[in-house]
C-alpha cells in the first residue's frame, strides 16, 4: 500500500500568517494516464471532510484562493497564504493513483 | 444542490450485521462512482469500498474484504453497504462519497452515519 506521510501533525498559526503542510508518498503518484491524483481535504470541527484541491493544484469551486497546492512525484504541499479563523480544522492528503486508496494521517491547524 | 444522506447506522454486537444506505440527489447518479470512507473517533480517514457508476466494478479495502458488500440501485439513486461479521474495529462514522471519475478524487461527501460495534 502507498503510505502517505503528513507533517507537521499539529500547526499553530497566527491569524493572517501563512501555513504550509507537507505530504509525502512512499511511491510516485504519477498515474499511467499521466495525471497525478493527489488531493487535499479539509475537515472542520464537527463536520464531514470537504475537498479543497484535486490533482495536486486544482482548487475546487468556492475554495478561497488563499489555498494552493503544489508538488510532484512523491512530494506535495498545501499552503494557506493568510490563515483565517474559519481555516481551523484537520487537513488530509489523499492519493487516488494506486489501489488501495490511502490518506495521510492528518494535520491539525489551530490558531495561536 | 448535491446531497448525500446516509442512514442505517447504530449499535450492533460483534459478529452482527448492519446495512448502510446513502440517498443521493442533485446530480446524475449514474455518472458518478461512489465510495464509503470511515473515520474512527478521533482518528483519520480510511477508504472502505468503492463502486463504479454502472455498478459493474466493486473495490474493497483488505480490512473489510469478504465481510462487506457495496451495491447501488441506480433507479433509486441509492448506495448501500452491507456489513457482516462486524468487529469492534469497524466502529466508526461511515461517510458516503461521490466521485465523477474512477474513484481518484472523492468530489463530495455526506454527513456520515455512526456505527458502533459493542
Predicted local confidence at residue A110, as pLDDT? 98
Report the mean per-residue pLDDT for chain A: 98
Check CB contact under 8 Å for A39 and B106: yes
Within a 10 A sphere around the Cβ of A85, how many other Cβ atoms?
A: 7
Query: How far apart are the C-alpha atoms of A1 and B6, rounded to whole Å?
Result: 28
Q: For residue B118, what are the contacts with CB-CB under 8 A and spacing of at least 6?
A: B11, B13, B14, B88, B91
Predicted local confidence at residue B68, as pLDDT? 98
What is the distance of C-alpha A105 from the center of its chain?
Answer: 11
- Chain A hits for B114, CB-CB cut-off 8 Å, are none
Interface of B with A (CB under 8 A): 35, 37, 44-47, 50, 59, 61-62, 95, 103-112
Write out pLDDT tens, residues A24-82: 999 999 999 999 999 999 999 999 999 999 999 999 999 999 999 999 999 999 999 99
Check CB contact under 8 Å for B45 and A94: yes
Residue of A nearest to B93 (CA): A48
Residue of B nearest to A35 (CA): B104
Check CB contact under 8 Å for A39 and B46: no
Check CB contact under 8 Å for B106 and A51: yes
Residue of A nearest to B104 (CA): A96
Choose the closest CB to B105 out of A37, A49, A106: A37
Predicted local confidence at residue B61, as pLDDT? 98
Check CB contact under 8 Å for A41 and B45: yes
| CA proximity to A88, closest of A64, A65, A112, A111 | A111
Write out pLDDT tens, residues B21-56: 999 999 999 999 999 999 999 999 999 999 999 999
Check CB contact under 8 Å for A106 and B61: no
Write out pLDDT tens, residues B54-99: 999 999 999 999 999 999 999 999 999 999 999 999 999 999 999 9
Cell of A67: 489555498
Amino acid at each position: 500500500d502507498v503510505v502517505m506521510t503528513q507533517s507537521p501533525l499539529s500547526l499553530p498559526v497566527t491569524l493572517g500568517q501563512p501555513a504550509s503542510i507537507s505530504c509525502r508518498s512512499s511511491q510516485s503518484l504519477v498515474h499511467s494516464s499521466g495525471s497525478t491524483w493527489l488531493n487535499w481535504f479539509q475537515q472542520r470541527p464537527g463536520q464531514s471532510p470537504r475537498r479543497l484541491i484535486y490533482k495536486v493544484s486544482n482548487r475546487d469551486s468556492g475554495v478561497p484562493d488563499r489555498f494552493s497546492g503544489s508538488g510532484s512525484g512523491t512530494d506535495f504541499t498545501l499552503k494557506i497564504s493568510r490563515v483565517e479563523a474559519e481555516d481551523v480544522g484537520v487537513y488530509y492528503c489523499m492519493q487516488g493513483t494506486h489501489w488501495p486508496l490511502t490518506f495521510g494521517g492528518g494535520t491539525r491547524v489551530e490558531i495561536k | 444542490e448535491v446531497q448525500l444522506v446516509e442512514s442505517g447506522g447504530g449499535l450492533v454486537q460483534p459478529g452482527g450485521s448492519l446495512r448502510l444506505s446513502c440517498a443521493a440527489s442533485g446530480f446524475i447518479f449514474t455518472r458518478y462512482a461512489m465510495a464509503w470512507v470511515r473515520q474512527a473517533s478521533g482518528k483519520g480517514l480510511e477508504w472502505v469500498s468503492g463502486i463504479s457508476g454502472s455498478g459493474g466494478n466493486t473495490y474493497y479495502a483488505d480490512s473489510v474484504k469478504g465481510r462487506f458488500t457495496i451495491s447501488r440501485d441506480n433507479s433509486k439513486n441509492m448506495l448501500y453497504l452491507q456489513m457482516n461479521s462486524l468487529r469492534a474495529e469497524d466502529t466508526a462514522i461511515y461517510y458516503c462519497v461521490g466521485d465523477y471519475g474512477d474513484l481518484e478524487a472523492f468530489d463530495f461527501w455526506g454527513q456520515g452515519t455512526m456505527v458502533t460495534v459493542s
